[in-house]
Amino acid sequence: MSEDAPGVEQHEIEQEALTKLRERCPVTTERFVRHHAPWMLKVAGRILRDDAAAQDVVQEAFGKGFQKLSEFEGRSTLKTWLHRIVVNQALMKLRSQRRLREEPLDHFLPEFDSNACRIEESWPRLLGTHEICEQKQIRELVRQKIDELPQGYRVVLLLRDIEEMTTAEVAEQMELSEANVKVRLHRARSALKTLLEPILRGQEP
């Protein structure tokens, strides 16, 4: 998720809400949680693939967010700030479960012959990840194929292409170098395209 500075009107609205949140206003706090909880659950759910764990992570993220309200400087929107927190909490949960260890991806990648030509049947055009996910009729199939990727690659792909975080943000959250993130993202995209070819072959470009 890109960290764009909020507009003037949005900034004023958020400053008012922030003041009330810091004052522990019950009405504002409840409204804030109700407004942000649904999308936070989706983010945590995509990363964890476990509804119960996602709910726990969202509760933890809200708790951490309320604790750190004094540190919020307004250089991004509250939503962007919360997004970073919920992603971080979800990744911490994966690490605690030892589910972020690096796993081999080679068997998901396309094969090449001695002339560096793909062995698989070629086709005119393969849709990009973002383009594929915009097509409602195959979105669920794409999600299923993303879930087949090894965890470390799956999460990088989710954070970059679905959550729209920058390479630097993903590197910070996953405690990787930016170069490592770029390599994992490239390999994850290649593997995903290979997994999707049987589904998408023959569709209109």
User: Which pLDDT band holds residue 115 (cuts at 50, 70, 90)?
Assistant: very low
Mean pLDDT of 120-134: 54
Residues in a beta bridge with 118: 112
> How many other CB atoms are there within 10 angstroms of residue 201's CB atom?
12
Name residue, tokens 């004023």. Answer: 12
Residue 117 has pLDDT above 60, yes or no: no
Q: What is the pLDDT of residues 26-72, one digit of tens each?
A: 999 999 999 999 999 999 999 999 999 999 999 999 999 999 988 88
d(CA 68, CA 8): 23
Domains and CATH numbers, the chain: 8-96 (1.10.1740.10), 106-200 (1.10.10.10)
| 106, 191 contact by CB (below 8 A) | no
b/e for 164-198, b at 16 or more Cβ within 10 A?
ebebebbbebbebeeebbbebbebbbebbbbbbee
b/e for 38-62, b at 16 or more Cβ within 10 A?
eebbebbbbbbeeeebbbbbbebbb
User: Which pLDDT band holds residue 14 (cuts at 50, 70, 90)?
Assistant: confident
Q: What is the pLDDT of residue 41?
A: 97
Report the candidate in 204, 155, 162, 205 with the shortest Cα–Cα distance to residue 184.
155
pTM: 0.74
The more confident residue out of 166 and 139 is: 166
User: Which pLDDT band holds residue 145 (cuts at 50, 70, 90)?
Assistant: confident
What is the share, in percent, of the chain residues with pLDDT greater than 90? Answer: 45
Q: Give the count of alpha carbons within 13 A of 36, CB side only.
A: 20
Mean per-residue pLDDT over the chain, rounded: 81
Mean pLDDT of 103-117: 57
